[in-house]
Amino acid sequence: MKLEPTGNVTLDLEVLNVSPRGFWLLVDGKEHFLGFEDFPWFQSASIAQICNVERVSGAHFSWPALDVDLDLESIEHPERFPLKSLAGAPEAVQNAEAN
């Protein structure tokens, strides 16, 4: 007997793991690491706030509790987007950036 998959896969966006250095976001079956050094707005966020992510459109994601919106390109290539808002970043990060 051969089993056929039923229904559709609905987990197209999921936070897989949170570590002291960042977190892994699964998007359409591909894992992306968002390091706190590149994405400082998440560093002092709770796990619940990080996990509360929504897909606004195809490649646009929002963390409503943190007022953070990111495009998949900026997640995959943070070096292409060197300007960062420090609003909501931990005070230590804001002070380090000011010096």
Task: Show the 3-state SS of 22-37.
Answer: EEEEEECCEEEEEECC
For 9, 12, 33, 41, the CA distances from 44, given in Å and listed in that order, are 32, 26, 17, 7
Q: What is the pLDDT of residue 71?
A: 95
How high is the mean pLDDT of the chain? Answer: 84
For the chain, list the domains and their CATH numbers: 13-98 (3.30.2020)
Q: What is the pLDDT of residue 49?
A: 98
pLDDT at 61 over 80: yes
Stated pTM of the model? 0.73
The helix (H) or strand (E) run that includes residue 69 is strand 68-71
Neighbours of 45 (CB within 10 A): 20
Tokens 């992306």 belong to which residue?
32
Residues 43-52 have a mean pLDDT of 96
